[in-house]
Amino acid sequence: MDAIDKLGLLANLQGESCELNHGPEPRREKHPAVDYIIQPFGYNVNEIEEVSVREMLVPVCAECAEALQGDEWTLFYCFECCSSHWIYRAFARNRYRHHILWLKGCPECASEFAGLYFSDLKSIVEVPHFMTRLTIAEVA
């Protein structure tokens, strides 16, 4: 993503709504987005060069952005159908240590599980996840 694309997305952020699940019941209320989660998908050519095949951009509201930075919740996000599900770590059977688990296929959209990727927001220095935290030099 170049600097012009970043500025364009940030300029349009005011009209965006959060795309994450806000509860078990479908609600009609819109939560205004304050940032984008950025998840690059790609591969490493070598130890220095990385190739980003595509970048997933997900608008998030202030409440979801705060939950993603804390240690109480883990987000499951299917990048095939864009569905999301929050797991409260204190009540989970498994010990989740990642903030976001990216699914390639989920029970909502696929009959076959195709992969799992994870993001840890504590490593924000190495892999920036929120658009507003990127500097223009990092984008270019």
- Give the integer Cα–Cα distance in Å for 71 and 64: 13
Residue 133, pLDDT > 60, answer: no
- Asked if 59 and 13 count as a contact pair (C-beta separation under 8 A), the reply is yes
| Model confidence pLDDT, tens digit, residues 68-116 | 888 899 899 888 888 899 999 999 998 888 888 888 888 778 777 777 7
| Model confidence pLDDT, tens digit, residues 15-51 | 889 999 887 776 677 889 998 888 776 767 777 777 7
pTM beyond cutoff 0.75: no
Sorted by where each begins, the domain ranges of the chain are 3-22+29-139
- Give the integer Cα–Cα distance in Å for 103 and 112: 11
Sign of CA dihedral 95, 109, 65, 26: negative
SS3 label, residue 137: helix
- Asked if 131 and 36 count as a contact pair (C-beta separation under 8 A), the reply is yes
